A and B are shown apart, each in its own frame.
Chain A
Amino acid sequence: MSLYSSVALPFLEYGFMRRALLASISLGLGAGPVGVILMLRRMSLVGDAMSHAVLPGAAIGFLVSGGLSLFAMGVGGIIAGLSVALLSGMVSRGTVLKEDASFASFYLASLALGVLIVSLRGSNIDLLHVLFGTILSIDHDAIFMVGAITSFTLITLALIYRPLVAECFDPSFLRSVRGRGALYHLLFLFLLVINLVAGFQTLGTLMSVGMMMLPAAVAQLWGRTLLAMAIIAACVAAFSGFLGLLFSYHLHFASGPTIILVATVIYLLSLVCAPSGILRRRLKRPHLVG
């Protein structure tokens, strides 16, 4: 099999492969930078919790619309995710519980509700596809949605870059200059939720957080500045999407897990080879003069 027929042909021959490629590259471009900030804020597990939290919303959307309506499930997911984010925020501000504790309680409740709703219609293949991802379900509407979410994410990140970074680095300072840190934190959580929803199609609700966290971890191993990290994460995420789709096509694997496993392989390689990775730390090099 030539390189051309194995790498390019699947995308040239099949429309659904082209759409999947476009969707996953677009997804990666938005989710990568969001993941970097999430990880630097030490909120990796909050991202994971959120991906579980959007599940019942998507399931309810599916039941309400009575079919595989991307719009209904997306809206449901966004509502569920934001409710959990807001409730957790309110609990952590109003009580002694820290944010991670309140997130944990709400996402577990949300997940239980989601699983319950799924089990009511357990045999429905369409629903399973959305929950666990399938490239076949990506149509034009899905591409437009993912593209819109990515554009919105990148533009918003550019706009709120300074206050968001200030809020991450020194929240009490931002509070002392009345910088409205809570607003930017909330906006960021909103970006997180819509990016998770964007990942529904290719990756499934449970794994769409992988498109954020693994590239972000890779970026932290290679990059030194925030901008470099964001760019690296976006590229790694998009590339994982491309390679993952290719493997899933040839080997008949499910697309979501394959994409995430490709990202995992890049992560493992980076752990060894990257400037702040294992190899470099083990290597004895003479120190500099100053």
Chain B
Amino acid sequence: MSSHAIRFSDVTLSYDRHPAVHHLSGVFETGSLTAVVGPNGAGKSTLLKSLVGEECQVEGRIDFGSLKPHDFGYLPQAASLERQFPLMVADVVLLGAWRRIGPFRGVTRAIAREAASALAAVGLKGFERRQVGSLSGGQMQRVLFARLLLQDARVLLLDEPFTSIDGATTRDLFGVVQRWHLDGRTVIAVLHDFEQVRSYFPETLLISRRVVAWGKTADVMTDENLARARGASEAWQEGAGICVESEARI
């Protein structure tokens, strides 16, 4: 079986030459369930964006193994949705099947059934014909999870999926994440709630513009590491010089 691991070798991600994350090395193993934790501005979202090719400059090497762009399912932090667009919930969920239906092919019965069961899986059974604009924030997040279910991606990137979501919804959506994990898919989620991380995620990557610790959650989420992460969150500096670590390598 080919490897679906994602390997970072000395990767620096930057905007306008200011690094969001620098000198990142390590591996997201196939089928791993990893929480990405760190203070605000630590580069967590940038890390996920670099995996789906959203805009940021990448130095170093990210080895995707046999993964192709369509193998990634990405749930952005604040999805830039046009919520007032007159679409039904089913329309949005079915977009998840883009790889199979593309711009022109018809939606088969099987795919429609899949969409219905994806909606049921996120607790929105029977919501197919509801207008998107009438959904609450939590319901919309469930719809986006259902769309991800249909995407059938090998790697799932979730950027703060449970922020401002109630406890019951969070539990339901965690159920979905667990299902992905059991299927052997790789899941990488940015989270802020340490309780959630400790109880659901076997692996954790703690970053603060560079790797503070990466590995088993219990080893990573120590008071000492967390304190280091807080201390290391350097501010974005206007007149920053060239990074010495990269100078040494030139």
Contact = CB atoms under 8 A, between A and B. Distances in A.
B70 A40 contact: no
B79 A170 contact: yes
A234 B173 CA distance: 42
B76 A166 contact: no
Contact of B92 (A169, A171, A175): A169
B86 interface: yes
Contact of A160 (B73, B91, B103): B103
Interface residues of A, number: 27
Nearest to A227: B86
A119 interface: no
Interface residues of B, number: 29
Contacts of A224: 86, 131
A223 B79 CA distance: 26
B87 interface: yes
A176 B81 contact: no
Say whether chain B's binding surface is mostly helix, strand, loop, or mixed.
mixed
Nearest to A40: B85
Residue from B69, B82, B88 having most chain A Cβ neighbours under 10 A: B82
A168 interface: yes
B52 interface: yes
B70 A223 contact: no
Interface in B3-28: none
Interface string A162-173: 110110111111
B214 interface: no
Contacts of B147: 173
Interface in A224-261: 224-226, 229
Interface of B: 52, 54, 69-70, 72-74, 76, 79-82, 84-88, 91-92, 95, 98-99, 101, 103-104, 131-132, 147, 151
18 contacts: A40-B82, A40-B85, A159-B104, A165-B85, A165-B87, A166-B98, A169-B87, A169-B92, A170-B82, A172-B79, A173-B95, A174-B98, A176-B52, A176-B73, A177-B99, A179-B103, A184-B103, A226-B85
